[in-house]
Structure 1
Amino acid sequence: MSAPLEPITIFGHEGGAPNPPKVFILAKLLGLPYTFIPKDMKHDPEDPNSIKHPSYLAVNPNGRVPAIIDPNQDNIAVWESAAILQYLAEVYDKDFKYSGKNLQERTLINSWLAFQISGQGPMQGQAIWFTVPAYHKAVYGEAPDHVAQRFRNEMHRVYSVVETQLEKQKANGSDWLVTDRLTIVDIAWITWARGCTYVGIDLDTFPNLRDWIARIEAIPEAKEVFEQFQLGK
């Protein structure tokens, strides 16, 4: 009998940012023990709890959350949410419940993860930055309307791609973004997608996206994480 797993350390924060919850959702789905260490998002290198303190930069040189340390694998440190999802799936998803069973599935998963981290995440983040008054306006003053509109337009394009993909998947009998089951792709996309209305996405015009969001929200592990981190729509 193999030894029980030691808890994986997951660094995140208590707020509603979309990236750390992905890691907690997958950890719960995989039944992995973990210890949550909340980090202070203030950029104070003198504060041991800060994401810019040298002790944390040794874990994640980019000084952001999430990151993990896995004591079951020689205390390997992994940072960036997509990389963490891929790592946890590779090491702990031995039955391929949430990861690719073969080259074709792995390629699809990698492509859609790359699209999430190059398209959805940064574009939606910028759209929110230039839209919410407490962000850009509070720090730099009013931004030109066309700046925020550029990112809102890009988000409409990105979610149009997702909507089309979900329609294709539905025609093939699947409720999920890729393959025939929930994968780390769905987990990577959902935490940002739940806030898409903040950047002007009308879910009535994206019915497949709307239904897909509702399906994941109904998963107990996802619901628990959304409530824990107050990740609202």
Structure 2
Amino acid sequence: MSSSLKPITVYGHYGHGPNPPKVFIFLKLLGLSYNHVPKDVNNDPTLEDGIKHPNYTSINPNGRIPAIVDPNQNDIAVWESAAILQYLAEVYDTDHKFSGRTLEERTFINSWIAFQISGQAPMQGQAFWFIHDRLHFAKYGEKAPEHVVTRFKDEVKRIYGVLNTHLQKQKEKGSGYIVGDRLTIADIAWFPWSKFASGTGLDMDEVPAFKEWLDRMLALKEVEETYTELAPKEAH
């Protein structure tokens, strides 16, 4: 990548959030320089370093992380992790190493990314919220109804079953990745949430092709570097 490029500003945070790592992993794979601006995820709009302060909602009106500002493209602000992956691919992955080379590949990649943001993330996020006492119970002082927990756990299981079946078909074709025969932004989009799938009660032995894929992703140097970089502050 050209040394004349200015570093991209990335708004993230230190911790275990599943969305910011997507951006850091892809930036590392692309060899792009960046500056990390960690944000406080407190919802207090008066907190200057917080995600709800006007100085950040002017960049991301939804007040969530991640977001980027690209000084190489007239300081364009991009928010939502899937949109950031697609933007970085369009602007900086010009040889399509991690993005679609053909209309078919681009369509499949976009379909799997859409499924990630409409299925995996919201269903797993709700499952975590209702299962773990530090979340729902801590806020409301009572356990979530069992049928609510079951509903989201079952949906998470269904979604990973869909991915497992697809990855098994990919394996039979000689591929270890979601689209085509190589790592793409579809894999990057799915990976960080997948890393914590077992926390919803998912039995990894029931999704062996998914587990193989997850292990393959965990072995990437850029993944290890990202989680080291974004480890909770107290661990630094």
**TM-score category, normalised to shorter length:** over 0.9
Give the structure 1 partner of residue 18 of structure 2.
18
Give the structure 2 partner of residue 224 of structure 1.
225
Give the structure 1 partner of residue 6 of structure 2.
6
1:159-209 CA deviation, whole Å, 9 max, x = no partner? 000000101101111000111100000000010001000101111111111
With normalisation by structure 2, the TM-score equals 0.95
Q: Distance in 2 between matches of 1:174 and 1:230?
A: 31
Alignment of 1:65-80 (within 5 A): 65-80=65-80
Q: Distance in 2 between matches of 1:158 and 1:230?
A: 28
Give the structure 2 partner of residue 91 of structure 1.
91
State the number of aligned residues. Answer: 230
Give the structure 1 partner of residue 193 of structure 2.
192
Q: Distance in 2 between matches of 1:199 and 1:146?
A: 15
Q: Distance in 2 between matches of 1:3 and 1:190?
A: 29
AA aligned opposite 1:115: F
Alignment of 1:210-221 (within 5 A): 210-221=211-222
Q: Distance in 2 between matches of 1:100 and 1:118?
A: 21
Give the structure 1 partner of residue 57 of structure 2.
57
Deviation (angstroms), 1:63? 0.1
Give the structure 2 partner of residue 139 of structure 1.
139
Give the structure 1 partner of residue 160 of structure 2.
159
Give the structure 1 partner of residue 32 of structure 2.
32
| Equivalent position SS for 2:68 | strand
With normalisation by structure 1, the TM-score equals 0.97
Give the structure 1 partner of residue 101 of structure 2.
101
Give the structure 2 partner of residue 148 of structure 1.
149
AA aligned opposite 1:99: S
Give the structure 2 partner of residue 183 of structure 1.
184
Output the aligned Cα RMSD.
1.1
Structure 2 alignment gaps of length 5 or more: none
Q: Distance in 2 between matches of 1:11 and 1:46?
A: 18
| Equivalent position SS for 1:227 | helix
1:66-123 CA deviation, whole Å, 9 max, x = no partner? 0000000000000000000000000000111100001000000010000000000000
Q: Distance in 2 between matches of 1:149 and 1:70?
A: 42
AA aligned opposite 1:192: W
AA aligned opposite 2:158: R
Percent of aligned positions with the same letter in both sequences? Answer: 56
AA aligned opposite 2:143: E
Deviation (angstroms), 1:3? 6.1
AA aligned opposite 2:101: K
Give the structure 2 partner of residue 124 of structure 1.
124
Q: Distance in 1 between matches of 2:193 and 2:231?
A: 13
Deviation (angstroms), 1:44? 1.4
